Amino acid sequence: MDQIKKLLIIGFVWPEPKSSAAGGRMMQLISIFKENGFEITFASAAQDSDFMVDLSEFGVIKKSIELNSSSFDDFVSDLNPDVVLFDRFMIEEQFGWRVIESCPKAIRVLDTEDLHCLRTARQKAFKEKRAFELPDLLSEEVAKREIASILRCDLSLIISEFEMNVLKDVFRINEDLLFYLPFLVDEMKEEELLKLPSFENRNDFVFIGNFLHEPNWNTVQYLKEAIWPSIKKDFPEAVLRVYGAYPSQKVLQLHQPKNGFFIMGRAEDANEIVKNAKVVLAPIRFGAGLKGKLLEAMQCGTPSMTTSVGSEAMHGGLPWNGFVENNPEEFAKKAIELYKNENLWKEAQKSGIEIINKCYQKNNYSSQLISSVNSLLIDSKSHRLHNFMGNLLQHHAYKSTMYMSKWIEAKNKN
């Protein structure tokens, strides 16, 4: 009988699938490994939250750990996982050297979520009022840390084809270290649209996004200042409802019912809200990765308006389920058209189903991921031998991280 393989996930936060796409992504990963017989422990140094998922319901062991503490070394040695998955590069920086010291044979996998350096560089270019260019990434401090983390790991999960190309073409990362894994959802049939609320039974524009994520806050500001006035001018009865977890006071201050602009706060059931809305508005101006809110719109049969950054790497060249528009006046004009024109709206719905079925099918990726991880478990020695840059970075970077962490631990004891 085969021995049960053990997976340790070290989380940046406890998963909140109802608060963010990142939380949903993590639960998808847990599902894949669970379905393939892995025993999973999820550890995090984050505080518990009211909205975190109950991991025990998914057969996952929950473990609270400490930063800069040798107690983690004892924990990971006792667990002795076959695979360790780091949730974002900052977690690999913090715990990677400890995993290597205590469990050198464990396969180290990095889930990048999205390329933080791409998001940071785009945000910087936006604030400097200039166009983002790929060479901007080479001078980005976050890029040096993130790419080093990717090189040190045996495999990194990359959510976007655009980001795969950036890593290969700009940073010259060996393809053997990368695995393309988009959001994964169930297949949708056209008949399923009949079970969803119809065109006539839907109302309002909607936006949903976690406000701890800077691109979402910027999007809502942009909607309020540049797009909503144009929509309201040509469509006076229009209403926009803005939902999102963790809204700050500055977000709440945008609430203006007289102008049809409602800040609704956290969505108890985002799926239900999007299903009953007529059009999703997401004029995203900077960011990275894939946009969970736009995939959710497709699953709910709700057409969407977004920008080229919002739709990036999301539709494989297929027609968008609505419109992609960067000009604010054109964005407003097409949003109204999509809202009012039933034939156009229904065509957009069908485009969304085609995108889901061609770009996000779980069956197309999950078995390949497990196969890649199993190959590494069988022959990690050869794989690591060919990753000289990773070994080099591991040797130097971990020494500095290790001594800094040990210094902090000693300081905390005094």
Mean pLDDT of 124-137: 94
Mean pLDDT of 124-130: 95
Q: What is the secondary structure of 346-366 as a DSSP string?
A: HHHHHHHHHHHHHH-BHHHHH
Picking from 233, 240, 270, the residue whose alpha carbon sits closest to that of residue 256 is: 240
Mean pLDDT of 317-324: 97
Q: Does the pLDDT of residue 402 top 60, yes or no?
A: yes
Q: What is the pLDDT of residue 296?
A: 96
Mean pLDDT of 252-272: 93
Q: Categorize the per-residue pLDDT at 279 as very low, low, confident or very high, splitting at 50, 70 and 90.
A: very high
Mean pLDDT of 261-278: 94
Q: Average model confidence (pLDDT) for the chain? A: 94
Are 344 and 319 within 8 A, CB to CB? no
Residues in the chain: 414
Per-residue pLDDT reduced to its tens digit, 332-386: 999 999 999 999 999 999 999 999 999 999 888 999 999 999 999 999 988 988 8
Q: What is the pLDDT of residue 197?
A: 97
Q: Which domains does the chain have, with CATH numbers?
A: 6-184+362-413 (3.40.50.2000), 190-359 (3.40.50.2000)
Mean pLDDT of 317-333: 97
Q: What is the pLDDT of residue 307?
A: 98
Q: Categorize the per-residue pLDDT at 395 as very low, low, confident or very high, splitting at 50, 70 and 90.
A: low
Q: How far apart are CA 127 and CA 321, in angstroms?
A: 30
Q: How far apart are CA 324 and CA 280, in angstroms?
A: 12
Q: What is the pLDDT of residue 399?
A: 64
Q: Categorize the per-residue pLDDT at 397 as very low, low, confident or very high, splitting at 50, 70 and 90.
A: low
Residue with the bigger pLDDT between 12 and 393: it is 12
Mean pLDDT of 262-272: 92
Q: What is the pLDDT of residue 2?
A: 62
Q: Does the pLDDT of residue 274 top 50, yes or no?
A: yes
Q: Categorize the per-residue pLDDT at 398 as very low, low, confident or very high, splitting at 50, 70 and 90.
A: low
Per-residue pLDDT reduced to its tens digit, 139-148: 999 999 999 9
Q: How far apart are CA 85 and CA 397, in angstroms?
A: 19
Per-residue pLDDT reduced to its tens digit, 74-91: 999 999 999 999 999 999
Percent of the chain with pLDDT over 70: 97
Q: Does the pLDDT of residue 255 top 80, yes or no?
A: yes
Q: Does the pLDDT of residue 1 top 70, yes or no?
A: no
Which positions ≥6 away from 39 have C-beta within 8 Å? Answer: 4, 5, 6, 7, 61
Residue 376 phi, psi dihedral angles, 5° rounding? -65, -35
Residue 49 phi, psi dihedral angles, 5° rounding? -130, 160
